[in-house]
Structure 1
C-alpha cells in the first residue's frame, strides 16, 4: 500500500530546483498542489500510485514555473480577443485591419484594437492619423490602443469623447497636434485617455472572464504559472475572486488595486482610497489581494524627467508630466504605510523617481514599508540607490519593454539616453534577490524566454543592440523570473523553488536556457507546464 500517493510525478528530467539545499534533481512528486518530494527517480518511485500521472521528461530540462512580477493578465487576455496589429508592418496594414473589422461591425458601433504592438514596427514608424482612420472606417468610432498609455482615435471617436479642435491637454496627458496645431488623433498619457474611457462601451463581466481564460491558455504555453496583475479595478478583482472560488484559475494571481485618484487633490485622493473598500488578503494560493498600485508618470512619451525630451509631444512640458502631485503621493503612501498595506508605484523617469522616493521616505517615518516596490525604474540615478537600499525596496523589471520600446525611447530621448534605459545589470548589482522578472504584457510580449533573451543580449526590436553593458546573464534571469518575483510578491516561502512543501509549479523546456546562445533562448520550446500538480500544457505526452 502506498501511504501518500502523488497526483503527479515528473521523472527522467534535468531539474534545476532553484533550491540552494538541493539545486538539481531528476524527479519531482506533487500531491494536493504542493511538492511531496524532490530527488532522483528512485526517490519518488514510491509515491506513484494507480491514479498518479507520471510525466516523463525524456531527459529534458525542468525548473520552477515562470513568475511574471508585472503582467496585466486580464488586459492581455482581452487583447487576445480583439483585432490585433502585431503583424502589421505599415500604416496600410493597420488600416486594412480596421477596414476588415468595419465590414463586419454594425455602423455606429465602436472598433477597438488590442494594445500589444508599437508604431516603430511600421515602415513609416508613426501612428496612423485620424484622417486615415476616417477613410478606413467612415461609419464607426475607432480606438487604436498601444500599450497602456496611448491611443489613436478617428474623428468620430474624438467627437464622442468630447475632444474638440480647441481642447486643452489635461495635466498628466497630451492631445498631440501636428506642426499646424491640428489634432492628430494621438492621445498620450493616462489623463488624456480618460475622456475616451468614459464613453467606450464598458467591458462586461463575461468578457473579462473570457479574457482570463484566453490569457491562461496562452500563458500555460509560455510556461507562466504566476503573475502579479497590477492596476486592477474593483470590478476586475471581483472577477478574479469569483473564478478562484469556482476553481477556474490556472495562473496564480496576486492582485494590485489601482485607486481612482488621478486629477484629485490630497484630500480627494485619500477619500477615494478609503471608499474603495480595499483590504489585503494573502490567504488564497490562487488569488491574493497584494496591495495598491500608484502611477507617478507615463510611458515612453509622458515619463517625467530631469532633462527635457529630445522630441517632446507637448512642447509646453518638455520634461514630461507627473501624473500625481507630490502632496498626493505623500498623503496616499503615508496612509497606506499606517495601515500596513503593500504599495507599488509605476515610475519611469528620474524626476518621477525623485518624487516617489520622497513620498516613500515620508511614509517610512510613519511605519515600516512592507517590501514596497518600484515598478519599472527605467532611469535610476546614483543618488537613488542609498534611499532604495535604506527603505528595503524591491523592483519589478521588464526587459521586454526595452525590446519593444527602444525605438520610441531613441526618438523621444535621443540615442545616448535610450541606451541606458532599464539598466538591469545595475539593478541586480544593487538589489540582489530583490528584483523580479516580468513583461508588462500587453505592452511588451509576455513570453518569459523572450524576455530572458532580451535581458541577456540587450537586443531590441528595431534599434539593434543598445547598452550591452547592462545585460544580465541567463542564469541570473532564471532567478529573477522565479525566486526574485516570488520575493516581490511576498511568496518566497511557497513559490520560486521546487522543494517539499512548496507549490507544485514547474515547466519542462526543450533545452536548458543556460546551454544555448543568449540570443537563442527565446527559441526554446515550452513542452509542459504544471500548476499545483495540474498539467495545463503538454507537448510531451
Structure 2
C-alpha cells in the first residue's frame, strides 16, 4: 500500500463548513497543489498527510468557510487608486482642495493629478461637487481629474483645455458636459463626456501598477474574498494583471471583463475584439481569466435610464434638463450588432443596466441575441445591476436564463444621494434582491 501523500497545508479547526446542505461540519482539511485534497470530521485524521514541508494551521476555536466570490467589483481601479490623492478623507471642499494642493506641491508642473473615486459629494459639508474653478485653487499648472465612481469626473480648467472642451462643446451622445447657471463649464463630465480627458491621462509606471494591484488584491483576500469578477478592465491593463499573477502577487482569482467604455459602434467593438485575441489563452487560466466584454447601456447614479422622470436633480439648474429620464449610451440596434460580434468570437457579455428603462431595453436586445444564437451556454449573457427591475422584468429575466449581478453593497454607499435623483421610494426598490430570489 502506497504511503499517504504529503500535502501542502493541513488545517485543524472547530468547524470546517463546505456549505453543502447535507454535509456535516468537518474538523480538518488538507490542501495540496492549490486544491482541497481531503476533509475529515476528525481533528487528527489527516495527520498522516503531514510531511516536513507541510504547513499546519491549528485553530481549535475558529471556523473555516469557503472564500467569498465577488461577482461585481472593480479591483483594477482599486489598485490604480493606491497612488491617487485620497479625497475620500475630505469632509468639505476646502479640505479636498487642500489635499490636492499638497499633491501639487510635490508634483512636476504639467503632470496629471488624479484622485480616489470612492467618495460621495453628499458626504461633503456642501453636499455638491466641487467646480473647475475650485479645483483651480489647488493648481492651474497641473491637469486635475477628480474621480467619483465610474461615471463622473470633475476636472480643472487645464484638463478641460487639454481635452479640447470649450464653452461651445456640446454634450456627446451618451454623456454630459456640465455647465454653471451662466452657461460656463463647471468641470463636471459624465459617461461619454469624460472620454476626451480620460484618454489623455498617463498611467503609473508598470512596477507601480503591480504594487498597487498587489495591495488591492491582498485587501480583498484579507476579508475572505477569494475570487473576483472585475467588471471593467481596460484592455491595456491585462498585461498588468498577467505580470502580477506571474510574480505571485495576485492574491485572488480574477475574471476580467474587458471594458468597452468609450466605444460607440459595432466596428469599434470589433477592433477591441481583435486586440483581445492575444489573450484568448486566458479563457482557460485557473487564476486569471478573460471572462468577456463589459458594455454600458445607460448611466449610473445621476443618469440611469428610467421609465419615469427623475424626482429631482441637484444640478438641474445648471444643466438645462427637464423631464429628465437618464441617459442611454448606446442605440439598441447598434449595441445588438456589437454584442452579436462578441458572441460570434466566443466571448461572454456583461451589460450595465442601472435604470428600469435600460433593463427592459437590454432584455429586448438579449432576446434578439438568443434568437440569433439559440444554443448559448448558460451565463453567456449577464445583466449587471438590473436596477429598479419590477416583478415583470424579474420574471422575464429569469425565464430567459439571464443571471444578474446586483452589486447590492453599492446601495449602502449611494442611497442618500440616489434619493435626491430617484426619490426615497424608488431608491428603496433600486436593487430588489429578495424579488430576484
d(CA) in 1 for partners of 2:404, 2:357? 17
8 Å contact kept, 1:7–1:30: yes
SS at match of 2:329: coil
d(CA) in 1 for partners of 2:91, 2:249? 37
SS at match of 1:51: coil
1:179–1:280 CA distance, 2 compared to 1 (3 A): farther
Post-superposition shift, 1:136? 2.2
1:64–1:389 CA distance, 2 compared to 1 (3 A): same
Pairwise mapping of residues 334-413 of structure 1 onto structure 2 (< 5 A)?
Answer: 334-367=340-373, 368-370=375-377, 371=379, 372-413=381-422
d(CA) in 2 for partners of 1:323, 1:369? 26
Partner of 2:71: 69
Name which structure has the greater RCO, CA cutoff 8 Å, separation 6+.
1
8 Å contact kept, 1:256–1:293: yes
- Among 325, 328, 334, the alignment partner of 1:322 is 328
1:138-181: CA deviations, max 9, x gaps?
33221110111111111111111111122211111111222332
1:406-435: CA deviations, max 9, x gaps?
1221111112211111111112x2xxxxxx
Partner of 1:174: 176
d(CA) in 2 for partners of 1:51, 1:253? 28
d(CA) in 2 for partners of 1:335, 1:116? 34
1:53-85: CA deviations, max 9, x gaps?
111223122201121111211110111222112
Post-superposition shift, 1:200? 1.9
Pairwise mapping of residues 16-415 of structure 1 onto structure 2 (< 5 A)?
Answer: 16-40=17-41, 41-189=43-191, 191-259=192-260, 262-264=263-265, 266=266, 268-269=267-268, 271-278=270-277, 279=280, 281-312=282-313, 313=316, 314=319, 315=321, 318-367=324-373, 368-370=375-377, 371=379, 372-415=381-424
d(CA) in 2 for partners of 1:377, 1:110? 35
**Count of residues in correspondence between the two structures:** 425
Post-superposition shift, 1:246? 4.4
d(CA) in 2 for partners of 1:245, 1:217? 15
8 Å contact kept, 1:75–1:211: no
Post-superposition shift, 1:21? 4.2
1:311–1:188 CA distance, 2 compared to 1 (3 A): farther
Post-superposition shift, 1:331? 1.1
1:283-329: CA deviations, max 9, x gaps?
22101121111111111011111111123454067111111110122
1:280–1:366 CA distance, 2 compared to 1 (3 A): farther
How does the TM-score come out when normalised to structure 1? 0.75
Partner of 2:427: 418
8 Å contact kept, 2:174–2:328: yes
8 Å contact kept, 1:304–1:351: yes
1:456-487: CA deviations, max 9, x gaps?
xxxxxxxxxxxxxxxxxxxxxxxxxxxxxxxx
d(CA) in 1 for partners of 2:170, 2:262? 21
1:99-128: CA deviations, max 9, x gaps?
111111122222111111111111211111
d(CA) in 2 for partners of 1:35, 1:151? 44
8 Å contact kept, 2:29–2:39: yes
How does the TM-score come out when normalised to structure 2? 0.91
d(CA) in 2 for partners of 1:23, 1:150? 48
d(CA) in 2 for partners of 1:139, 1:340? 47
1:244–1:106 CA distance, 2 compared to 1 (3 A): closer
